[in-house]
Amino acid sequence: MSTKLKICGMKVPGNIAEAVLLQPDYLGFIFYPGSKRFIADLNPELIRNIPSTIKTTGVFVNEELEIVKKAIVTYQLKAVQLHGEESAAYCGELKGLAEVIKAFGIHETFDFNQLDGYINQVDYFLFDTKTPEHGGSGKTFSWQLLGNYHLEKPYFLSGGIGMAHLADLQQFKDERLYAVDVNSRFEIAPGLKDIALLTEFKESSGCFGQL
């Protein structure tokens, strides 16, 4: 089965329309005001009208639970990605309303045992590079650290993935790898994606379904 592709950090209407034509499996929108890719006053209808074959994903950081629930309804989000210190119980409150993706910043001393309590409360994990910005740093962590991941829960691989990682992705052997999440390495400016480069990445990788 092909690995899924998630394009994250979209916020420019015309650019979103172009990304939709690429038919990624997931398209991410950042609801965290501290991000350079914050959607701000983006029209909810624009997200609601994205074809249902693409899972629109709201990215939140330590947001109030009721605000996340309201966003799921308002924007008709298919998934939520939680990038803060959200508890397992918090994640469980959202389970069933949308797919729940819990992100963790990975570093040399990361304790994978902390994931055990989330196993029944989330649909997927997402492994990103540990940074103060909660993602979108363009920095890559050592994928060898995933050798310490002991659970069977499938995960998204994130953190500075770009064209330079094509060969490594093709050689990456882990059946738990569900999706690759790309963002800043494919940008012209924060929130504005280079569609030609994304097209090349998708077509050249051999990891994803073809256009």
Q: Is residue 210 part of a domain?
A: no
Mean model confidence pLDDT for the chain: 93
Q: Is residue 81 part of a domain?
A: yes
3-state SS track over 154-204: CEEECCCCCHHHHHHHHHCCCCCEEEEEECHHHEEECCEECHHHHHHHHHH
| Residue range of the domain that includes 70 | 4-205
Average pLDDT for 171-188:
93
Contact 44, 64 (CB under 8 A): no
Q: What CATH number does residue 102 fall under?
A: 3.20.20.70
Q: Is residue 132 part of a domain?
A: yes
pLDDT at residue 34, as a whole number: 92
Q: Is residue 52 part of a domain?
A: yes
pLDDT at residue 81, as a whole number: 98
Instruction: Tell me if residue 91 is catalytic.
Output: no
Determine which one of 25, 128, 181, 207 is catalytic.
128
pLDDT tens-digit readout, 39-90: 999 999 999 999 999 999 999 999 999 999 999 999 999 999 999 999 999 9
For residue 181, which of 132, 133, 127 has the smallest C-alpha distance?
Answer: 127
Instruction: Tell me if residue 8 is catalytic.
Output: yes
Task: Report the number of distinct structural domains present in the chain.
Answer: 1
pLDDT at residue 211, as a whole number: 39
pLDDT tens-digit readout, 100-137: 999 999 999 999 999 999 999 999 999 998 766 545 55
Q: Is residue 119 part of a domain?
A: yes
Q: Is pLDDT above 60 for 25?
A: yes
Q: Is residue 211 part of a domain?
A: no
Determine which one of 8, 91, 181, 207 is catalytic.
8
Q: Is residue 158 part of a domain?
A: yes
